[in-house]
Amino acid sequence: MKKNILNIQGVSEISKAKQSEINGGAGWGFGGIDLSKCGCDCAGRVTGPLYCQNYFGCLQVYTCNDSQES
């Protein structure tokens, strides 16, 4: 399998040390994606920046300030 992959034009093998130097992540190149900015409102809608809708999900039924009475 390794031989077949290396025969593809433009593909080369890199060492583990080089692999650890690669930085990247989710997003469109606008900077980092910060999922801590994402959340849910009381109606179950995703809140936060636009990208939150792609990476975050909320329960359809979500209520706020519920208190359990014993």
The three-class DSSP label of residue 47 is strand
Residue 47 CA to residue 56 CA, distance in Å, equals 9
Token pair for 63:
């209520």
pTM over 0.75: no
4: part of which helix (H) or strand (E)?
Answer: helix 2-6
Average pLDDT, the chain: 75
Lowest mean pLDDT among 1-5, 41-45, 49-53: 1-5
- Residues 17-36: pLDDT tens digits? 888 777 665 555 556 778 88
Contacts of 25 (CB under 8 A, 6+ apart): 32, 33
Residue 40, helix vs strand vs coil = strand
